[in-house]
Amino acid sequence: MTTVGILGVMHDDETRRKYNLGLDVIGELILDFQPDVICGEVLPGSWERYRRDRNDRGYWGEPASEYWDLIFPLCEAKGIDFSPIDWGELDVWNDFDPFLLYEEPHRKELRDEMDRWFEKQLATWNAGAIPFNSPEYDAITRAKYEWSERLNPRAHIFRWVCRHMIMIQRIKNTVKEHPGKRLLCIVGADHNHALHDALGKENDIRVVYPLRS
């Protein structure tokens, strides 16, 4: 049986520190879990670029800052394997903006509503032992993306359905490569529920989420 933990984070350092999920806390959670492998929300191409040049930060600042400032160095220091699991075709990503079908000022109104959804998510930060890793956070996240899907089903399929299918399959492939080991998936917290739902159905995987109760 392979153990797979899920840790949802925020990619912005100011938000992380404001809601008590800073890099020091993330580092503590990683060390407590004692992973053999970290599956990270990093594009495989960006991971290869980083391995060739530690100063090459890929496209659009990807991967997110927690990888450069904590996770990559920690993996190297502790001998933890790293597996990149993210997916996205960056050259066409903006063509699947969920608000692309709408004209101003309606587009601005929808962006403002998306911001309100995010505020609702942030308001759950203390619902569990780990900020943004709770059923309360996940319930609002599900509702947010159901709303987004109604706005633009095509964008939702591209940015979320297809992306999650590929991320989950890459995790499963990593499980096959490391049977019986401890894997920790570190992703933006909006992905928590999708990974938990899918991996929890696998007979050879024991899912740990949240990491602390």
Q: Cα separation of 121 and 111, whole Å? A: 15
Residue 21 backbone dihedrals phi, psi, to 5 degrees: -130, 50
Question: What does residue 149 show for φ and ψ, rounded to 5 degrees?
Answer: -65, -40
- The tokens describing 196, both together, are 């938990």
Contact present, 85 and 46 (Cβ < 8 Å)? no
Q: Would you list the domain boundaries of the chain?
A: 2-181
Q: In this structure, are residues 205 and 199 in contact, taking their beta carbons and an 8 Å threshold?
A: yes
Closest residue by Cα to residue 140 from 161, 125, 160, 162: 125
Which residue has 């991996």 as its token pair? 199
Q: Which of 27, 106, 134 is nearest to 73 (CA)?
A: 27
pLDDT tens digits, one per residue of 127-165: 999 999 999 999 999 999 999 999 999 999 999 999 999
pTM: 0.96
Say if residues 180 and 36 touch (Cβ distance below 8 Å).
no
155-206 pLDDT, tens digit per residue, is: 999 999 999 999 999 999 999 999 999 999 999 999 999 999 999 999 999 9
66 in Cβ contact with 23 (< 8 Å): yes
